[in-house]
């Protein structure tokens, strides 16, 4: 190959101008260092602009969590920022992907500018309510533990969830995908979570949820769950994270399930650590979940809503939650197996006690340790649908034949001997 004029080294015919060459190289190196320094500074500035806001939210959330995981903060976080606008223009990743067509459109920038109120921490990431300039309120939930999901996979799953339509599901409105963080945007539920109504101390004159409301909530939860089972037959955990803080209440106290169907997109490790389905006995002892696992979660929820007792160990991180929960179930039910078991804050109408006991019993069948003996969802749905606010004499007599379904379970029936049983007494 014929060497060019500027090339040094053999075979070289022309004499190299060593000093010039050296000079050129030095200039080049200085120029490169200069450019790198500028790039570094630019990155530093961009980073500085970006982080304080996020850190502020995290800090606020952590502070709130430490005080009370359910407390709704009144702290208004004004997140307006002019830089966002510039950043947005130069960045294509700021997209919000809408999964429903019946909602007002907005962009990430609008969210960042909206006045936000931290709603809580949760096991996935912080949640906040954002009120957009048009007055629309949405809930933004940040997820950091979905790192393994590819964009297409995430997109397909979220689009499917966006097509869901049921009065007892909190609608997913939109999402934002970034490699290390995802945002899920849902509607806002006016009356907070069931957990906050059951467990947060109320003002002295504020009544607790009464029995008809609690029954309505359980019926709605079951309907929402049945819908998820129907729409997601390929998933063993159509919900996967059913607990009282994921049951939200609209202004008429209709329940709306939240955080459903996330097991396909949450990282395994995180799911097993935090999602309540993985606290079930079958996962704790056999590493497996089945389509009765969500029913177990429903059972815990039923006991919680009737007793007003918080299954604290549920929130415990890692494995072993279920053996503590067995203790919890026993403590709420067996030690005081009378009407004493019911939440003192639950206003009860005359004659409703029989129905309450029936629901308690249904809850126990759903919490059955042995998966084979545990009710499936279809059975739970059918039994819960039969419940009424108030069991009158007529209704009572028509219910006794159904009572056979409970006692025919034979082996488990000993566990359900009521000290004051309406269900089991037969004419």
Ligand X SMILES: *[C@@H]1O[C@H](CO)[C@@H](O)[C@H](O)[C@H]1NC(C)=O
- Binding site feature residues: 141
Of the pair 96, 119, the CB lying nearest ligand X is at 119
Least distance (Å) between residue 307 CB and ligand X: 20
Least distance (Å) between residue 377 CB and ligand X: 4
For residue 144, give the nearest of 234, 274, 257 by alpha carbon. Answer: 274
Q: For residue 418, what are its two tokens?
A: 């009521």
Least distance (Å) between residue 112 CB and ligand X: 26
**Does residue 320 bind ligand X (CB under 6 A)?**
no
**What's the residue count for the chain?**
427
Least distance (Å) between residue 418 CB and ligand X: 28
**Does residue 340 bind ligand X (CB under 6 A)?**
no
Of the pair 225, 341, the CB lying nearest ligand X is at 225
**Does residue 350 bind ligand X (CB under 6 A)?**
no
Task: Return the sign of the alpha-carbon dihedral for residues 13, 14, 20, 21.
Answer: negative
Pairwise CA distance, residues 328 & 47, whole Å: 47
Pairwise CA distance, residues 301 & 218, whole Å: 8
Directed axis angle between helix 293-307 and helix 211-231, to 10°? Answer: 170
Of the pair 116, 226, the CB lying nearest ligand X is at 226
CA distances from 125 to 74, 297, 306 (A): 19, 21, 29
Residue 333: cis peptide before it, omega within 30 degrees of 0: no
| Count of residues that interact with ligand X, criterion CB under 6 A | 10
Pairwise CA distance, residues 166 & 235, whole Å: 18
The two counts, helices (H) then strands (E), for the chain are 13, 9
- Contact stretch for ligand X (CB under 6 A) within 7-15, 261-269, 284-292, 399-407: 284-292
Q: Which of residues 161-220 bind ligand X (CB under 6 A)?
A: 190-191
**Does residue 376 bind ligand X (CB under 6 A)?**
yes
Q: Are 75 and 118 in contact (CB under 8 A)?
A: yes
Q: Which of residues 116-155 bind ligand X (CB under 6 A)?
A: none
Of the pair 14, 288, the CB lying nearest ligand X is at 288
Q: For residue 225, what are its two tokens?
A: 């769950």
Binding residues for ATP: 141
- Contact stretch for ligand X (CB under 6 A) within 20-28, 98-106, 158-166, 372-380: 372-380
Q: What is the DSSP letter of 97?
A: E
Least distance (Å) between residue 190 CB and ligand X: 4
Q: Which of 287, 330, 397, 398 binds ligand X (CB under 6 A)?
A: 287
Which residues here bind ligand X, judged by CB under 6 A?
Answer: 190-191, 229, 251, 286-287, 291, 376-378
């Amino acid at each position: 190959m014929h060497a060019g004029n500027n090339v040094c080294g053999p075979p070289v015919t022309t004499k190299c101008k060593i000093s010039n060459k050296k000079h050129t190289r030095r200039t080049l190196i200085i120029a490169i260092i200069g450019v790198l320094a500028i790039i570094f500074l630019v990155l530093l500035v961009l980073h500085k602009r970006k982080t304080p806001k996020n850190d502020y939210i995290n800090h606020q959330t952590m502070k709130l969590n430490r005080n009370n995981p359910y407390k709704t903060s009144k702290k208004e976080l004004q997140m307006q920022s002019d830089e966002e606008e510039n950043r947005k223009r130069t960045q294509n990743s700021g997209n919000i992907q809408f999964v429903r067509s019946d909602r007002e459109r907005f962009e990430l920038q609008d969210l960042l500018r909206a006045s936000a109120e931290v709603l809580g921490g949760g096991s996935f990431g912080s949640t906040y309510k954002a009120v957009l300039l048009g007055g629309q309120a949405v809930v933004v939930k940040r997820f950091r533990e979905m790192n393994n999901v590819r964009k297409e996979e995430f997109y397909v799953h979220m689009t499917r969830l966006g097509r869901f339509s049921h009065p007892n599901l909190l609608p997913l409105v939109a999402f934002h995908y970034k490699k290390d963080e995802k945002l899920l945007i849902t509607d806002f539920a006016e009356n907070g979570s069931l957990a906050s109504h059951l467990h947060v101390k109320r003002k002295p004159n504020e009544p607790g949820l009464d029995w008809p409301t609690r029954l309505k909530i359980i019926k709605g939860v079951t309907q929402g769950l049945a819908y998820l089972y129907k729409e997601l037959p390929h998933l063993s955990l159509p919900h996967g994270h059913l607990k009282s803080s994921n049951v939200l209440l609209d202004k008429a106290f209709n329940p709306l399930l939240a955080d459903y169907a996330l097991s396909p997109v949450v990282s395994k490790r995180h799911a097993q650590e935090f999602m309540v389905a993985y606290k079930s006995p079958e996962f704790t002892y056999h590493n497996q979940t089945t389509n009765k696992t969500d029913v177990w979660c429903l059972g815990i929820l039923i006991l919680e809503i009737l007793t007003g007792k918080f299954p604290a160990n549920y929130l415990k991180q890692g494995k072993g939650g279920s053996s503590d929960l067995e203790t919890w179930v026993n403590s709420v039910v067996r030690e005081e197996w009378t009407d004493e078991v019911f939440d003192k804050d639950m206003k009860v109408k005359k004659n409703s006690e029989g129905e309450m006991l029936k629901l308690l019993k249904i809850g126990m069948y759903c919490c059955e340790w042995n998966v084979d003996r545990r009710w499936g969802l279809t059975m739970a749905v059918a039994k819960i649908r039969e419940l009424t606010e108030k069991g009158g004499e007529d209704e009572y007599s028509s219910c006794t034949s159904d009572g056979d379904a409970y006692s025919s379970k034979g082996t488990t029936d000993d566990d359900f001997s009521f000290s004051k049983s309406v269900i089991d007494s037969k004419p």
